[in-house]
Every structure is written in structure tokens, then in C-alpha cells.
Amino acid sequence: MIDVTHQINSVSRKVGRRDFKAGEARVITIGQSYGSPVEDVWDACTNPERVPRWFLPVTGELRLGGKYQLQGNAGGTVERCDPPNSFFATWEFGGEVSWIELRLTPEGDGTRFELEHIAHVDDTKWAEFGPGAVGVGWDSILLGLDGNLSGTTPVKPEDAMAWLASEEGRRFVTASSEAWFAANVASGEDESAAREAADRTTAAYTGAGS
């Protein structure tokens, strides 16, 4: 069993914009505090033998200038790397390129994990699903990382899709989508537009209405 409410409430979410490369980009930021030291969190996020235990198998070279590929998901190039504090990489999926930046900072005896996902998204596409389009996915990734770092791993990566289709999984996705709705409104988005986008995101992830 997963304490869905606890996990959702343990994560911070922020939605914003910034000038980046070709123009203004949308930015979502997701963060969580872990009881593990920075070096352990860094290893969990970058060790190709450990990543598959909580996310997906990864191939390539996880180093500066190296290319990586997550099985059945995104790939890209590591553009900046400062072990064990941060890395910046392209996130290439479905013919589109966005960017991710991971930052790890000491927090007492543990670590503050913060990840930014930066993308050039046109207003029409953004209006359809809002930040939850990728935010819900990152929430599920942080759930897996939390399980790995705590040694609980309630959902094995190979069982993730089946779990997401379960009652508990749908409850997690719905709660995540609602949390991204709140972050979207807090960023200044029109509440009714944010509501419609969040409802479409929840339906897309849970299969509601299909």
C-alpha cells in the first residue's frame, strides 16, 4: 500500500515561464526532500545499474557530453554535469526536444531534490493539458525514487503500468493532477482554463470517459 496523500503532500510543485534559447519557455519545477545523503541520491539518479530499480532501464553514457536513452521513453544529451550536485540534459521524446535540470542540495542529514522541466510549448497545446501533461509523470517518477531511497519500493518498475490502472494508481494520478491544477492557478493561469486542462489530464491518465 502507498500512502497517496502523504506522497502527494511531500512534493512541491511550481509552474512558470522563462526566456530560454529560442524564446519564452514553460517551466515546471518539482521537488521533494529525502533522508538520504546527496551522494546516495545522486547515485540513484545517475547509476545505470540502479536507475532501472525505480524507473526504467537506461543505456548510453551518463556523463558530460554523453547520450542516454531510457527504454521506451526519452533520450538525450548531457549538456552540463556537476557531480553530485546537478546535471542539465536534453529530454527528447516523440520528435520534440525539451530540457531537464536536476539540482541536489544538502538539507540537514538528507537531500533536497529539485527538477525543472523546460519546454517551448505553444499556447494551444498548453491550454489542452497544462502542466499536468508532464507533471503527473514526474510525480510518479518521484514516487519510485522515494521507494528506492527508503528501501520500500512498493511498486516495481515492471508493475508500474498495471499499478497506474489500479484503484490506488488512479487515485494517485488524480491527486497529482489536482496538485498541478493548484500550481497552475498559483502561477496566474485563469482558474476555469486550468480546471478544464486538469480534467483532461486526469481523464487521459486514468482512461476516464473512454
114 pLDDT band, cuts 50/70/90, is: very high
4-16 residue pLDDT tens: 999 999 999 999 9
On whether the CB atoms of residues 100 and 73 are closer than 8 A, the answer is: no
DSSP of 71-90:
TTS-EEEEEEEETTTEEEEE
Q: Give Cβ neighbours of residue 40 (< 8 Å, ≥ 6 apart).
A: 111, 149
Question: Grid coordinates in use for 170?
Answer: 488512479
Question: Grid coordinates in use for 165?
Answer: 490502472
Amino acid letter, residue 175: A
Distance CA 144, CA 124 (A): 31
Average pLDDT over residues 119-144: 95
Distance CA 133, CA 207 (A): 14
52-101 residue pLDDT tens: 999 999 999 888 999 999 999 999 999 999 999 999 999 999 999 999 99
The structure's pTM equals 0.94
